Amino acid sequence: MQDNKIQRRSFLKMTGAALAGMALPFKSTQAGADIGTNMVSGGKFWINPGTAQEYFRHKVVNTKFVQSDNIIWAKVDGWWQKYQVAGYNSDFFNWFVDDLFKWYEIIFDEGKVPPNGGHHTPAISTYSRRGVGRGDSNFHLNSAFKSTTLAPKAGENMDYYLRVYKQALSGDMSTYSLEWKKNLMRNEDFWDHKLIIATDLYSGQGPYSATPSKGEVDVETTFGFKESHYLLNTMVNPVANMIYLDSFTATAAPVWDFRGIVANTHWKNPDNDEQTLLYQQYRECVMLPHMLQHGQTANHIGVVFHIAEQFDDKDSDVPPGRGVKVFPSFNYLSSHAEYNVKRMIGKV
C-alpha cells in the first residue's frame, strides 16, 4: 500500500510538471490543422473589450523625454529601465532613399512589381515571457515583416506632411505628386533620425473595426485571433530588433540592424495628453500614405520604433560589417581591454 501511494504521488507530480510546461491548446471546432473559429485573445490590456469602443494604452513605455532629452523609459524583462535614443546614421538614410527610388523606377517607369524586403519591409523580432500568448505556441518570441517608413520631425514638418496627405485624400492633388515626395525624401533634415514608424495591420481587426468594402479583413472572425504575436509581446516587453536587407546588391548586400523600444498606439485611445496626441500623429503619418495607396481606412494600430543602437550586419572582409556596432560608435579593442581589467578585479 505504501509503494502504491508513493507511485501515485510521483505520477501526480510528473503530470503537474508536464502540464506546467505545456501551452494548453485553444478550443477548435475542427480537428487537425484547421483554423479554429473560436476567437482567441491573449491580451489583458484591452479596455472595453468586445465592444465598438475597445482600445488599449501602452503602459510599459514612457515617451515623455524622447524629444527633449533623447531618453525613453521602458519596462523590459519586468524592470523599468532608461535607454538613450540614438537614431540611424546618414549611411542608412541614404540607402533607404536610394532603395525607395529604385522601387519608384520599377513601379512607375517599368510597370513591374518591386522585390520583397528592402527599405519597405524589414523583419521585426520581439519576445516576451511565460503567460503571454495565444495558446498556439510553446515559445514567446516572434519575427514578422512589417511595412515601415521614416518619420517627419515633430512640429512644423509633421503638420505640413499630414496636411498634404489629407488634401490629397480629399481629392486636392495640387501639392502632392511623385516629384514632391522625391524632393521631400531627399531632404534629410526633414526626418527624425530617432524613429522609424510602422503599423500592425492584423491586431484588433474585428467586426467593429474592419471595413471589408475598403479591402480590410475581419481578422478575428476569419482567422480566429485578436492579436498578432508582435502586439502580445511588445505590450508587456516593448524591446524589439529590426533588420533591413538590401534586395538589389548581389555581393556584400547592406544589412541594417537596429535595436530599440517600440510604442504602440490604438486609433481609439481617447486620451488627449501631449504624448498621446503626438503618437497619434505618427500613426497618421503611416496610415494616410497607406490609405492613399491602398484605399483602406486609418483604423489600424500605430507602431513607433525608437532606435537605441545601429549595427552593420553585411558580409564584409573589413569593418564595418559582420555585426559591428556603428551608431553610437563603439571601440571594440578598448572595450575588450576594459572588460579584461574588470574581469581581473571581479567586476564582471
DSSP type of residue 6: H
Q: What is the pLDDT of residues 186-239, one digit of tens each?
A: 999 999 999 999 999 889 888 888 889 888 889 999 999 999 999 999 999 999
Average pLDDT over residues 148-153: 97
pLDDT confidence band for 347 (50 / 70 / 90): low
Extended strands (E) in the chain: 61-62, 71-76, 79-84, 123-127, 141-145, 148-152, 191-200, 239-245, 255-265, 301-312, 324-327
Confidence check: pLDDT of 15 > 50: no
Query: What is the model's pLDDT at position 323?
Result: 67
Residue 161 neighbours by CB under 8 Å, 6+ apart: 152, 184, 285
Per-residue pLDDT band at 316 (split at 50, 70, 90): low
Domain segments of the chain as ranges: 61-344
Cα gap 243→92, rounded to integer Å: 12
Q: What size, in residues, is the chain?
A: 348
The whole-model pTM stands at 0.84
Q: In this predicted structure, what is the pLDDT of residue 214?
A: 86
CATH 3.40.50.720 is the classification of domain 61-344: no
**Rounded to an integer, what distance in angstroms lies between the CA atom of residue 110 and that of residue 117?**
19
- Which residue is listed with cell 527610388? 101
Average pLDDT over residues 153-174: 96
Give the count of beta carbons closer than 10 Å to the beta carbon of residue 240. Answer: 21
Of the listed ranges 124-138, 260-274, 314-328, the least confidently predicted one is: 314-328
